[in-house]
Amino acid sequence: MGCCHGHNNLEEKTLKVNGMSCGHCKMSVEKAVNELDGVKSAIVNVDAKSAAVQFDPNKVTLEKIKATIEELGYEVE
CB of 67 to Cu ion, least distance (A): 20
- Judged by DSSP in three states, 18 sits in strand
Q: Does 72 bind Cu ion (CB under 5 A)?
A: no
Residue (16 or 59) nearer to Cu ion, CB: 16
| Cα dihedral 66/69/71/77 (nearest 10) | -60
Between CA 7 and CA 1 the distance in angstroms is 8
Residue (14 or 21) nearer to Cu ion, CB: 21
Q: Does 24 bind Cu ion (CB under 5 A)?
A: yes
Among 10, 19, 25, 36, binds Cu ion (CB under 5 A): 25
Q: Does 41 bind Cu ion (CB under 5 A)?
A: no
